[in-house]
Structure 1
Amino acid sequence: MESVPIRCPACRRDHAYSTPVYPCPCGAPTAPPVLRGAPVVPITHRTWNDDWVTVRCRDCGRLDQWPQPELCCPCGTVLRIPVRPVTAHDDTAAPGDGPRSARPSHIPLPRTAPPPRSAFRPRPIRTARDAVAGAALYLKWLGYHDVVQPAERSPARIDLRATGLIAQVDATTRSTALRDVECLWLHALTASARSVFFSLAGYAKDAEARADGLGIPLFTMELTGTPQPVNAPADELISTGA
């Protein structure tokens, strides 16, 4: 990734900054496009919305939310790096790359040949631990045979882990919030793993919308112990399995 010159307005120190690269769900490396020549802004107060930017994948055209680029200067000032905003007619392809056709943000996987699988046998949910155990049983049924539950819940609130997957189970009586979904996605991004969310009380509308955009399968947990898919990524996970 090409670096851009950044000067700290507090100490006047010069930096060569390269934006971090993240994998788009299509597999292509994606990085927020830095707005060259725009002044950097010291961060004195954080808001959740300011920590995210919309980025278009150069390969598939998908729009996703990625962490706002930042640089921590040795003088102690944290700088927000301006990013070129995405417009309706934006094309991030470099000159000479040729035209790119528009594609839908979500393409369901084929469901004509689901993997052979016996009927799921749920266990009733009476406690929060039952909810986590029920989610683990369901993930094993989907094909994640090595799913484990950590002895103690991590600060990241990851309840279940398997090869290439992390999952969170919200057993509270409140609807799962947008921040919970985004935090799980960030932890999965760091671990290069898929994320799955289970909730007893369902999800806030903005949390569902963000999960759809990020491709996170959402399930609600019935007290009978049977998870129910909430969005299209959850339907696809049921269809394809691990």
Structure 2
Amino acid sequence: MSETVPVRCPACRREHVYTAPSYPCACGAPVTPSLDGGAEPARVAHRAWDEEWVTVSCGSCGRRDQWPQPELGCPCGTVLRVPLAGTGSAPAPAPEPRPPFRPVTIRTSRDAVTAAALYLRWLGHRDIRRADQRPPSGIGLAAHGLVAQVNPDLRPTSLRDVECLWLTAMTEDSDCVCFSLAGYEQDARDRADALGVALFVLDLTGTPQPVNRPADDLRAAGG
């Protein structure tokens, strides 16, 4: 069950009630970060990829995975990072078969990146991180043997985006996958088919939908 705690904004002193989101463990059970309702929330002054994720243990199987850091936006404009209690530690193997993917609703660009990262983790790529090489547009993600691009813009992903992603993958001897909120230009889709780039469209529910054969194959095979 999701945990609810009171949160006071240190900027305007307004009181809020925050409910921690739940995420799907590989075993199928919901995972909810344990919150420290007595600690002062921290203001988010700038973004750093390593600070966007927290390690949380599944209460059912003990598996430890990384999930988005709990945050709350105050009407005064302050973004608050909700403090966590202890997360425990009890590793366990992932069971089979793979459970259904549980998406997160996309409302912001950050949600789109989170949805793509969760999907790649669901496919089996456990070490998702911010890519070292920034793509010409969108956000770059990476894992062992994989590079990905997330385009949260309201314009279709272009031919140049697909070719740059493929070239990056070639230099790193990795597979590549692209996620786009607004779909793809036709020449981008044609080029992706020729190069073997997996293309997914993100709908607003946060569920990636494959739009070409490489994406179908990736979803079927997993990580």
State the distance in 2 between where 1:186 and 1:222 align: 27
* 1:129 corresponds to which of 103, 107, 110: 110
Matching of residue 188 in structure 1 with residue 152 in structure 2 = no
Structure showing the higher strand proportion among its residues: 2
Matched residue pairs, number?
A: 127
Runs of at least 5 residues in structure 2 that lack an aligned partner in the other structure: 1-95
SS in 2 for 1:224: coil
Q: Contact 1:120 / 1:141 at 8 angstroms: preserved in 2?
A: yes
Q: State the TM-score, normalizing by the size of structure 1.
A: 0.50
State the distance in 1 between where 2:222 and 2:97 align: 10
State the distance in 2 between where 1:170 and 1:161 align: 14
* Counterpart in the other structure of 2:197: 216
State the distance in 2 between where 1:155 and 1:206 align: 19
Letter in 1 for 2:123: L
* Counterpart in the other structure of 2:216: 235
Percentage of matched positions with identical amino acids: 57
State the distance in 1 between where 2:153 and 2:181 align: 7
* Counterpart in the other structure of 1:154: 134
Which protein is bigger by CA-based radius of gyration? Answer: 1
State the distance in 2 between where 1:153 and 1:189 align: 13
Offset of 1:153 from its aligned partner? 7.6
* Counterpart in the other structure of 1:176: 157
Letter in 1 for 2:168: H
* Counterpart in the other structure of 2:98: 117
State the distance in 2 between where 1:167 and 1:116 align: 25
Q: Which sits farther off after the overlay, 182-191 or 156-165? A: 156-165
* Counterpart in the other structure of 1:4: none
Q: State the TM-score, normalizing by the size of structure 2.
A: 0.54
Q: Contact 2:135 / 2:149 at 8 angstroms: preserved in 1?
A: no
* 1:202 corresponds to which of 177, 183, 189: 183
List 4+ stretches of structure 1 deviating above 4 A: 155-158
Runs of at least 5 residues in structure 1 that lack an aligned partner in the other structure: 1-114
Matching of residue 140 in structure 1 with residue 129 in structure 2 = no
Q: Contact 2:149 / 2:178 at 8 angstroms: preserved in 1?
A: yes
Q: Contact 2:148 / 2:177 at 8 angstroms: preserved in 1?
A: yes
State the distance in 2 between where 1:188 and 1:180 align: 12
Query: Could you report, residue by residue, the CA deviation over 1:12-54 in whole angstroms, capped at 9, with x for unpaired residues?
Result: xxxxxxxxxxxxxxxxxxxxxxxxxxxxxxxxxxxxxxxxxxx
Q: Contact 1:164 / 1:192 at 8 angstroms: preserved in 2?
A: yes
Offset of 1:116 from its aligned partner? 2.4
